[in-house]
A and B are shown apart, each in its own frame.
Chain A
Amino acid sequence: MVSRNSLSGPLDPTPDAGYVDPPARKGFFTDTSVCIGCKACEVACKEWNEVPSDGLNLLGLSFDNTGSLGADSWRHVAFIEQSRPVGAQSFEGPPTGPSGTSFLGMPGTALPGASQDGRTDLRWLMASDVCKHCTHAACLDVCPTGSLFRTEFGTVVVQEDICNGCGYCVSACPYGVIDRRETDGRAWKCTLCYDRLKGDAEPACAKACPTDSIQFGDLDELRERADRRVAALQGAGVTEARLYGHDESDGVGGDGAFFLLLDEPEVYGLPPDPVVTTKDLPDMWRHAGLAALAMAAGVVAAFAGARR
């Protein structure tokens, strides 16, 4: 049952945040099946938002030298090299993935194919990750200063002039997106180009993406489009195509930025079952309150029989 200020479950977050007659909720549908790993999204985002470089580090995670989302990386392209057993038909239809991956947890921690006998077929997954702009955004919930707020577009944005750098949001985010910038202490993350939205333009990454892997628009229209795309892929034999973050009844109420993946989320470094970390707050307070009551009762009981 969803009520005002609920911390979980399906919700339209914009009216819930108090907006009267807001525009349609905006978001991203990132179709990783057409990502060519060009990283134009990373560069366009940094150019527009004047995000600093996060250092010249050869990480060796295939072609991923960004590593993860953070204060200085608001779009991050992951590269996952996967080996498939020989005999996987490489020609009829688009490539399919292995029935079980050899990865659990973060990609790139083991050399693909290093311990296998013989040559296998190869699949190279590429995906541009971004802040999910959750329906139930834990970062927003825990922010003590009100710096993080819900915009009229349903997105979650940090007001940098208010942020005090406490870092509560950093531990709250179930995806590990938001972080503090070393050089100035404040928390930074993707704004879904709030300033461009206000100017009726699409975010920089969506604009730059040459293959329309990153699609921007009204969230419910994007969700319909994504459903059709997954159905088409599965119909063409790509049985592992699936959506991630599209479901309103998931642990964060669905994401404002959701994805089409070609394998398990863990393969991409995404949590398989993200839950807004503040979801259990009412429960926690109830428990705490009960514990306090029990404590008080115990104190009363201790003193009640202590008259003599």
Chain B
Amino acid sequence: MAEAHPVGFQWVMEAKARGAKVIHVDPRFTRTSALADTFVPLRAGSDVAFLGGIINYVLQNERDFREYVVAYTNAATIVSEEFVDADDLDGLFSGFDPETRTYDTSSWQYEGTEGHEGDAGSAESHADRETASGLQHESHGGATASQTQRDETLQHPRCVYQILKRHFARYTPETVERVCGVPQDTFLEVCDAWASNSGRERTTMLVYSVGWTQHTTGVQYIRAGAILQLLLGNVGRPGGGIMALRGHASIQGSTDIPTLFNLLPGYLPMPHHEQHETLQMWIDEMSHPGQKGVWSDAGAFGVSLLKAYWGDAATAENDYCYGYLPRMTGDHGTYQQVLDMIEGKISGYFLLGQNPAVGSAHGKAQRLGMANLDWLVVRDLFLIESATFWQDGPEVATGEIVPEECRTEVFFLPAASHVEKEGTFTQTQRLLQWREKAVEPEADCRSELWFFYHLGRMVKERLADSTERRDRAVLDLAWDYPTHGVHDEPSAEVVLQEINGYQVADRTPLSSFTELRDDGSTVGGCWIYTGVYADGVNQAARRKPRSEQDEVASEWGWAWPANRRLLYNRASADPQGRPWSERKKYMWWDEDKREWSGPDVPDFERDKAPSYRAPDDASGVAAINGDDPFIMQSDGKGWLYSPVGLVDGPMPTHYEAAESPFRNSIYGQQGNPTRKVYERDANPTNPSPPEPHADVFPFIFTTSRLTEHHTAGAMSRYVEYLAELQPAMFVEVSPELAQERGLEHLGWAHVVTARAAVEARVLVTDRMVPLRVENRVVHQVWLPYHWGQGGLTTGDSANDLLSINLDPNVLIQESKVGTCDVRPGRRPTGPALLDYVADYRRRAGVAGDHRIPIVTAGQADASAEGD
């Protein structure tokens, strides 16, 4: 966090100054570790085993916050007797179809709800994986029945609590030491500290970032963290929770108002051509008729969005132009698209503030894809590698791209920087902060808003005389934004008002998403943002200083939803509505005023008493009981076990990374059996046990950031004052590895995988720690991923080493762990480089038509016992 969020880290330092203990768990000792009280080195890719060990510790030692767990989680809920756990199937769950490598999840359901519309057969699971449908759960849980069978004594053998206990029983301290390389005493210290600092009087916060998400089991990492925090009663309470640090300053905004293929604003799913053929099917998918929760109003969210897009053209008669929305037919994710580009299936590409030649996994695939287009438009602050790859990328040196013959026509348009335009940032805390424009952009530099508005205007003009039905989708777009200034800049504030939503009749801004309607009378560009323009005031622009507010500081900026700062804050009070303790008082039920009180907006109906019990036939908001804090889950409880919503299992399970030097010793199933794989000649994966020749790539590598540089380097390598702080691409190695491979401090080395060989200066440091895993020593190396061939400081790109292997729930790439070789000296150049890497592939047995044995459960070679 100190590396990637130095300004946010001041709050960790502030907490430390007040006596908080900081524990840092990471494959590498970073600037965060330097300020932590305890540093725990662990093997990259083994976090589920680590967290599983802590979950096991909490359960075996009964250190869970029992009252919270019974009342607020699904611990007591009884699961179908059809369910078979990974323990009994060597790492698979019941319902696995080896053909499609997906699960039929009907056996995972709660007892009595099998066959419910929420569960998914294999075909649905396959479509879920293709379309990364897990992403829509960013704002709401999955759909299952609201009334479930529960045993609040937690003794029933099929209650979630017991299932969890059996599932994690293998994750003993010995297992953690063997699998993760974390000494048992260190591990137990962490367990004890975490458990001791949880409960009524104390809360612990879990902070993570992309070091957790960018794995083929990334979503399950997060789930494991959530299970632990739920067991310890840390969710929805002050000083607790799970803080997901995002990768850049407004990327939360880019999933809220998405630039993703499978999401619409507010985490509404992009319609699928089969599953959501009609408007009603789309709405039903979101609203889950019969469920608890606010999603019962999804029709209003969806229709109001359509009205925002197509304005007056969207009427009840034409289903509000639902037919104009694009439909998904499968995987349109960025990696699929790049591979499609290589195969010539894509003509054109817009790249805006993104540098995939450096920032995305498998750099060569990115560049070869972009070299096979009709046209490419790049908007950025500098001539980034994704604009210049055709003339100076690594493939030019090797001869794979010949500049004179490259067919892609590249248009580079200079972009305005964040101080040259106004608008909002939405950061990790869901906080929207409006920024004013400080200076006018120079020369031809323009904002994204300007670009898209005028592009849309010009496209509409070009199509004005068209009689093609498909062009109506563009022609009917409501595009009347006012512009101002010498460059005809569209008004960002008007766009924010549209996002907020308003009454169609008189453009009165809405103040809450509860005012949205499904009858075409409201516009709502993003239902979770409704309220940012409440009362016609730009709430995101508020800057009441912290010295004039309490610590919740509700009048600085605006958080979605409804300016609620702490989600699920009902859980900060006990089932009777009293704070768990005076020290951790946050929200509570005021019996006299008959409402929820406290410094924040209640994440609950303000006047719903703790004693409220829903009638049996209730649905929607009325079905939420007075003690159901997790209002976005269909049963109102925090999920220790996920009956729906995940493609790869209802509980986290340790799988090795797609590339690992180790055989999974907990189960026979080596890697995530449902992971998204693209088997192409262009995308070889290093071999992992039980495949032979894994020793060709004996070391583990991981990538992350340096404070001095920013992501793919476009905003730092070209800036003198930043470039000089970290002026060269380097690789960190331990003294032990340096000795083993003959590496010299500040000398050259190159790191090799089946995709590429990347050279870097060597930094020998004690901060890289060889680990003892599965009874042998394994070395890890670390590379920053900021470098490319442009700018003041140039170097090879670390992401060229990565393969394309994705988490199946959200299609994120596994960029935080892989295997590699490390050799002294610089890498070969020119065509010799291709031969060099090809030789490695040949020796590893992954050249050509090699196919990865993905499903390895139940094989003869599987290790005999978990521990």
Q: Which of B2-10, B233-241, B359-367 contacts A (4 or more CB under 8 A)?
A: B2-10
Nearest B residue to A115, CB-CB: B735
Nearest A residue to B763, CB-CB: A60
* Per-residue interface assignment for chain A, residues 9 to 48, with 1 indicating a CB less than 8 Å from any chain B CB and 0 otherwise: 0000000000000000000000000101111101100110
- On whether the beta carbons of B34 and A126 are closer than 8 Å, the reply is yes
Q: In whole Å, how far is B749's beta carbon from the nearest beta carbon of chain A? A: 13
- On whether the beta carbons of A122 and B39 are closer than 8 Å, the reply is yes
Q: In whole Å, how far is B76's beta carbon from the nearest beta carbon of chain A? A: 35
- On whether the beta carbons of A210 and B725 are closer than 8 Å, the reply is no
- Residues in B neighbouring A46, C-beta threshold 8 A: 721
- On whether the beta carbons of A113 and B766 are closer than 8 Å, the reply is yes
For the complex, what is the distance from the CA of A167 to the CA of B420, rounded to whole Å?
43
Asked if A66 is at the interface (CB within 8 A of a chain B CB), the reply is yes
- On whether the beta carbons of B37 and A91 are closer than 8 Å, the reply is yes
Asked if A155 is at the interface (CB within 8 A of a chain B CB), the reply is no
Q: In whole Å, how far is B773's beta carbon from the nearest beta carbon of chain A? A: 14
- On whether the beta carbons of B765 and A58 are closer than 8 Å, the reply is no
Within 8 A of B (CB), among A102-145: 111-114, 119-120, 122-126
- On whether the beta carbons of A60 and B745 are closer than 8 Å, the reply is yes
Within 8 A of B (CB), among A60-104: 60, 62-63, 65-66, 81, 83, 90-91, 93-95
For the complex, what is the distance from the CA of A56 to the CA of B706, rounded to whole Å?
16
Question: A91-B189, A123-B34 are known contacts. Are A114 and B764 too (CB-CB below 8 A)?
Answer: yes
Asked if B354 is at the interface (CB within 8 A of a chain A CB), the reply is no
Within 8 A of A (CB), among B82-122: none
- On whether the beta carbons of B792 and A122 are closer than 8 Å, the reply is no
Within the complex, which residue of A65, A81, A111, A124 is in contact with B727, where a contact is CB–CB below 8 Å?
A65
Nearest A residue to B17, CB-CB: A34
- Residues in A neighbouring B746, C-beta threshold 8 A: 58, 60
* Per-residue interface assignment for chain B, residues 1 to 41, with 1 indicating a CB less than 8 Å from any chain A CB and 0 otherwise: 01000110110010001000000000001011111011100
Asked if A212 is at the interface (CB within 8 A of a chain B CB), the reply is yes
Within 8 A of A (CB), among B764-821: 764-767, 769-770, 792-793
Asked if B496 is at the interface (CB within 8 A of a chain A CB), the reply is no
- On whether the beta carbons of B38 and A90 are closer than 8 Å, the reply is yes
Question: A39-B707, A56-B792, A60-B763 are known contacts. Are A65 and B38 too (CB-CB below 8 A)?
Answer: no
Question: A60-B745, A123-B34 are known contacts. Are A36 and B9 too (CB-CB below 8 A)?
Answer: yes
Within 8 A of A (CB), among B696-754: 706-708, 720-728, 730, 735, 745-746
- Residues in A neighbouring B10, C-beta threshold 8 A: 210-212
For the complex, what is the distance from the CA of A65 to the CA of B745, rounded to whole Å?
14
For the complex, what is the distance from the CA of A211 to the CA of B1, rounded to whole Å?
13
Asked if A54 is at the interface (CB within 8 A of a chain B CB), the reply is yes
- Residues in A neighbouring B769, C-beta threshold 8 A: 119
Asked if B170 is at the interface (CB within 8 A of a chain A CB), the reply is no
- On whether the beta carbons of B31 and A34 are closer than 8 Å, the reply is no
- On whether the beta carbons of A39 and B33 are closer than 8 Å, the reply is no
- Residues in B neighbouring A40, C-beta threshold 8 A: 6
Asked if B215 is at the interface (CB within 8 A of a chain A CB), the reply is no
Q: In whole Å, how far is B715's beta carbon from the nearest beta carbon of chain A? A: 13
- On whether the beta carbons of B34 and A111 are closer than 8 Å, the reply is no
Nearest B residue to A113, CB-CB: B766
For the complex, what is the distance from the CA of A40 to the CA of B722, rounded to whole Å?
10
- Residues in A neighbouring B706, C-beta threshold 8 A: 63
- Residues in A neighbouring B13, C-beta threshold 8 A: 34, 36, 211
For the complex, what is the distance from the CA of A90 to the CA of B32, rounded to whole Å?
15
Nearest B residue to A119, CB-CB: B769
Residue with the highest number of chain B CB atoms closer than 10 Å, among A37, A83, A210, A211: A211
Within 8 A of A (CB), among B444-463: none
For the complex, what is the distance from the CA of A43 to the CA of B746, rounded to whole Å?
24
Within the complex, which residue of B33, B39, B728, B770 is in contact with A58, where a contact is CB–CB below 8 Å?
B728
- On whether the beta carbons of A90 and B9 are closer than 8 Å, the reply is no
Asked if B761 is at the interface (CB within 8 A of a chain A CB), the reply is yes
Within the complex, which residue of A55, A94, A95, A123 is in contact with B724, where a contact is CB–CB below 8 Å?
A55
Within the complex, which residue of A34, A113, A122 is in contact with B735, where a contact is CB–CB below 8 Å?
A113
Question: A38-B6, A60-B745, A122-B29 are known contacts. Are A94 and B37 too (CB-CB below 8 A)?
Answer: yes
24 contacts between A and B (CB under 8 A): A36-B2, A37-B31, A38-B31, A39-B708, A39-B725, A42-B721, A42-B725, A43-B725, A46-B721, A56-B724, A58-B746, A65-B726, A65-B727, A83-B766, A90-B38, A91-B37, A91-B38, A91-B189, A95-B37, A113-B766, A120-B766, A122-B29, A124-B29, A126-B34
- B residues in contact (CB < 8 Å) with A: 2, 6-7, 9-10, 13, 17, 29, 31-35, 37-39, 189, 193, 706-708, 720-728, 730, 735, 745-746, 761, 763-767, 769-770, 792-793
Q: What are the 4 closest A-B residue pairs judged by CB atoms, nearest first?
A: A56-B727, A124-B34, A38-B6, A113-B766
